[in-house]
A = this chain, B = another copy of it.
Amino acid sequence: MIDRLIKNIQDKKNPTVVGLDPTLEMIPNFIKEECFEKWGKTPEAVSNMFIRFNKSIIDFTYELIPAVKPQIAMYEKYGPCGISAYLKTIEYAKKHNLIVIGDVKRGDIASTAAAYAAHIEGIDIDGQFIDIWQEDAVTLNPYMGFDGIQPFIKACDEKDKGLFILVKTSNKSSVELQDLKIDGEPVYNFTAELVKKWGKDLIGEFGYSKIGAVVGATYKEQGDALRKKIPNTFFLVPGYGAQGATAKDLSGYFDKDGIGAIVNSSRGITMAYKAKNIDEKDFAQAAREAVIEMRNDLRGEIEL
């Protein structure tokens, strides 16, 4: 998976992943009204508007980007109908040759993690195999340690899938636990070492492991230092755009060949039509233009 992701990035010359994190506020009124009319003010209506919105965003951007990252919380909120929208979004993205990173941030003890691993390994119902979730990679939370990660690593190996494990997250309160100092070294450095160890046997042709790390764009110095500390770990980088980071902050997250990281933007792309006061009917075209802008911004700093 990591090699496929890097090839996709090189083909599109764009280390961008579009976050598909729909909210009711994000959906243009004409779609909202049509869906409410058809299904009432129900989770089914929301599910349908999310699918329609995401499909348009994908239609207008898939040629330009290597990957999408749906945030499952936005869908899970609406129960089974929401999860259906998540699955249909993934299916549509994969039809368009996009790598799908499921932003699920799961983390639990071994027997439970084995159930969550269905996200990347599919399910077996009495001999009947179904790839129900279809993500190429998922994000995971490391607080519980290796036994909650192991079932996923097995799936990465056997099914060519990937992981991005939270190391240093982009949010303000990430300092509360992640930056506690142990003999001068922050907790996230220890997490980084664990991620390195967990991924050491799954390194692909570009020198990067299938077991990657989430490293926020909003902590530039820490990101630069982590790039040097764990050179075989690919970074999924949230925090660009809406959360405040720019391309300049990110040059140290990449290696000399311009690979090593993929930068996420969600609202910056999917809500570009609102930010720029563009007619809501043109929301997908506005997203396309925002993707091009972001790509050019990153290309200004990173040689690909």
Interface size class of A (residues with CB under 8 A): 35 or more
B177 & A108 in contact (Cβ 8 Å cutoff): no
The count of identical subunits is 2
- Known contacts A74-B115, A147-B172, A171-B109; A24/B126 CB under 8 A: yes
Cα(A215)–Cα(B141), bound, Å: 18
B173 & A144 in contact (Cβ 8 Å cutoff): yes
Which of B71, B76, B105, B106 is close to A73, meaning CB atoms less than 8 Å apart? B106
A80 & B80 in contact (Cβ 8 Å cutoff): yes
- Closest CB in chain B relative to A289 CB, distance in Å: 23
- Known contacts A115-B23, A128-B41; A171/B110 CB under 8 A: yes
A185 to B, closest residue via Cβ? B180
Q: Chain B residues near A128 (CB, 8 Å)?
A: 41-42
A145 & B173 in contact (Cβ 8 Å cutoff): yes
> Which of A53-61, A187-195, A246-254 sits within the interface?
A187-195
A112 & B24 in contact (Cβ 8 Å cutoff): no
Interface residue ranges, A against B (CB under 8 Å): 21, 23-24, 32, 36, 41-43, 45-46, 71, 73-74, 76-81, 83-84, 87, 105-113, 115-116, 118, 123, 125-128, 130, 132-133, 141-148, 166, 169-178, 180-182, 187, 190-191, 194, 238
